[in-house]
Amino acid sequence: MKVCIVGTTPTRGLAPFADPSWQVWTIGPGGRDFPGHRWDRLWEIHGAGQWHTWPADFGKYLDDLSKIEPPQQVVTIRPVQEMAVDWAYQHRKPPEDLAKEVTGAWKANVVIDREHIIKKYGRMWLSSSFSWALAQALEEKVERIGIYGVDLEAGEEYVSQFAGARHFVDLARALDVTVEMPRWCGLLRDPNPYPDRWETHEALWLLNRIGTIKNMVAEKTADLDQTKAEVFRREGAIRALDDIARNFNGKVKTEAEDCIKVLDTQRNEQMSVLGRKAAELSNLNGQMSSWELYMEHFVFTGKSGTL
């Protein structure tokens, strides 16, 4: 058995969709909706709690899934009807509205043995839909696994999802399962062992650089806040003087109007300074984010290798 697990990043297009000897497994709405790309199993591991953060018209997606017919499968770790009820409740949809919105019989829903997989492979590695799919592929004793359109390169994906997916890739290799990925796939990042991961000259230099920029960001932020406060004070004074000018006559009115002109000029100058300082701060934050991302991908984890 050969299984191709397909995500949504650009290398998805290299997957062997036209080769019927491969089963194609894909993930959620993004994986399902690519035109012209077939799939045999769709993994909907996301819980209804995450569905709650997606659009209210997510019901259309659920309705489409409910009408899928075997041999295609919609794979979940809970009966999907239960999750749909949870999702409807979170969106204040009564049962009768859910029944009108999601109308299929869910004939293609397959619930895998969640507790068995957790007990056998460990909780911490099951950090993404891809990890669940890889674990199930090992359970079904596949001989080859292809991975396309999966990189797991940023944010939470890097910290936990990448580690979980790489664990199952390495486990598959240890079990003599052939794993195929494009040579520029992000999952080929190969972490250096301790202590090299932390003690390289480049890592230490970057830590120093990031620390320096963080200090600069803190200083610039305080300076920007001070400038904002000065602008707000002048705006408050202008409003107070404007109220005086509108309610008094003679010398009081004239002096108030003259003060408004001076304060308005000062405020405009401060607004110009404020824009420049905000741009400088944005630039520093961009530099810091870039250095941190570079460090995560190419220092702590080393260069991409070949499996």
DSSP secondary structure string, 60-93?
HHHHHHHT--TTSEEEESS-HHHHHHHHHHHTT-
Is the CB of residue 256 less than 8 Å from the CB of residue 224? no
Whether residue 100 is contained in a domain is answered as: yes
| Sign of torsion over alpha carbons 84, 85, 87, 88 | positive
Predicted confidence (pLDDT) at residue 61 exceeds the cutoff of 90: no
The domain tally of the chain equals 2
The more confidently predicted of residues 151 and 204 is 151
| 176, 202: one domain | no
Whether residue 307 is contained in a domain is answered as: no
| 164, 216: one domain | no
CA 183 to chain centre: 23
pLDDT of 118: 97
The more confidently predicted of residues 239 and 56 is 239
pTM: 0.68
pLDDT in tens, 225-259: 999 999 999 999 999 999 999 999 999 999 999 99
Cα–Cα separations (whole angstroms), residue 37 to 5, 7, 12: 12, 12, 9
Instruction: Look up the domain containing 9 and give its range.
Output: 2-188
Q: How far apart are the C-alpha atoms of 40 and 133, rounded to whole Å?
A: 13
Backbone angles phi, psi at 180, to 5 degrees: -115, 130
| 45, 73: one domain | yes
